[in-house]
Amino acid sequence: MRTQVAIIGAGPAGLLLSRLLERRGIDAVVLESRDRAYCERRQRAGMLEQGTVDVLRACGAADRLDREGLTHHGLELRFGGRGHRIALSELTGGKAVTIYAQTEIVKDLIALAPEGRIRFGAEVVEVDPVTPRVTYRENGRLHTLDCDLIAGCDGFHGVSRAAVRGSTVFEREYPYAWLGVLADVPPSTEELIYCHHERGFALHSLRSPQVSRLYLQVDPTDQPSDWPDERIWAELRTRFATTDGWTLKDGPIREKAVTPMRSFVTEPMRHERLFLAGDAAHIVPPTGAKGLNLAVSDVTALAGAIADGGLDGYSQSRLRQVWRAEHFSYWMTTLLHTDPAADAFARRLQLSHLEYVVSSAAASTTLAENYVGFAYDGR
């Protein structure tokens, strides 16, 4: 088989790249190891930057997002039993963020794809960036796909990254993980709450007026089975407690998963005719909500470079924005989590930093402008 662009992975990066190329009349095939139902079910991110929404809208993939997405103009930082609003839009000249689940973006993009363009159950086993060619297994048999270039959009556990010869890896692990839950209960807040507590970080997000999305900092060795529903709600109530009597509504929990936290960048994001995009090239801890947004800006740049011939600048220009997001995600993570190894001095510094962020216009603006995201050229 032959195509112009072989895309490995039907996560948000691969699916959106396919859509952007289709709109420019460029032929592509998406090879995805899992089945469609699995890809559509995988619970992950939910916060979209304005730039991400703009890209989805411009390629005709935002009809449902425009109907169901929730626009947010601020967020709350909560610590010491008190909430402090960060007025995102006021601090950034009117920018806003949108809550719309990654699972829904994936469903929308799959539904728009022409018949046969995405091959589910096709696991790539070999990537040859020079020829270029990928070998994949489908229904137990090996096949090859020849192409002009390969887009490695196969996430952190994929095969593409290893095919980038001579790359340098930058990595940091954190001594905590997130337990993420989806609960059938109306959110107890209109805006997201990022909460620091001595027992650990907690995040109150949402999916719809009926569904809450909540996260708890847990030990990286914890399993979802260590966290029965009653324990989750009790811990969330303790961490979110305020001095003014705010209450957390609870309800049935539908999903539970533990995600390790890491920072990871591989440089360069290109080798010969192979180009990496999304989690295949970089991972951020989720506190800054940047993972999905970076994947979208990578493939937006890649689609433009494929169409306009700017491929030589791809890796270098992407890495500028990637490192900005890496720094912000690290900054938000260390600002809000409780490091089990921190001494009393480090804890006092952390509280002072939190107080500075919510009381200084300059510091609040730093958080806000990074959170809503920068334009794709790095400005």
Residues forming the site for ligand FAD (CB under 6 A): 8-14, 31-34, 39, 44-45, 102, 123-124, 153-155, 157-159, 259, 278-279, 286, 289-292, 295
From the list ligand FAD, ligand DHB, none, pick the one residue 213 interacts with, judged by a Cβ distance below 5 to 8 Å according to partner type.
ligand DHB
From the list ligand FAD, ligand DHB, none, pick the one residue 83 interacts with, judged by a Cβ distance below 5 to 8 Å according to partner type.
none
> Shortest distance, CB of residue 80 to ligand DHB, whole angstroms?
21
Among 153, 174, 159, which residue's Cα sits nearest to residue 284? Answer: 174
In the region spanning residues 279 to 308, those forming contacts with ligand DHB, defined by CB under 6 A, are 286-287, 289
Active-site position among 136, 286, 314, 376: 286
Nearest CB to ligand FAD, comparing residues 10 and 305: 10
> Shortest distance, CB of residue 46 to ligand DHB, whole angstroms?
3
Residue 205 touches ligand DHB, criterion: CB under 6 A: yes
Nearest CB to ligand FAD, comparing residues 195 and 289: 289
Token pair for 36: 């469609």
Residues 6+ apart with CB under 8 A from 258: 177, 178, 179, 180, 218, 220, 222, 223, 224
- Looking from the CA of 65 toward its CB, the CA atoms found within 13 Å total 29
In the residue annotation, 175 being an active-site residue is answered as: no
> Shortest distance, CB of residue 313 to ligand FAD, whole angstroms?
21
In the residue annotation, 72 being an active-site residue is answered as: yes
In the residue annotation, 256 being an active-site residue is answered as: no
> Shortest distance, CB of residue 364 to ligand DHB, whole angstroms?
17
Measure CA 123 to chain center.
Answer: 23
Residues 6+ apart with CB under 8 A from 347: 198
Q: Find where tokens 């999916």 sit.
A: 207
Residues touching ligand DHB, count (CB under 6 A): 9
67: number of Cβ within 10 Å: 7
In the residue annotation, 249 being an active-site residue is answered as: no
Active-site position among 95, 197, 290, 337: 290
CB-based contact 21:5 (threshold 8 Å): yes
Residues 6+ apart with CB under 8 A from 44: 102, 103, 291, 292
Active-site position among 194, 215, 314, 376: 194
From the list ligand FAD, ligand DHB, none, pick the one residue 98 interacts with, judged by a Cβ distance below 5 to 8 Å according to partner type.
none
Sheet holding 211-218, edge to edge: 82-86, 75-79, 193-195, 202-208, 211-218, 168-183, 253-267, 282-283
Q: What track of x and - describes contact with ligand DHB for positions 11 through 50 (by CB under 6 A)?
A: ----------------------------------xxx---
Residue 129 phi/psi, 5-degree rounding, is: -75, -10
* Residues engaged in binding ligand DHB (CB under 6 A): 45-47, 192, 205, 213, 286-287, 289
Active-site residues: which are they?
A: 72, 194, 286, 290, 371
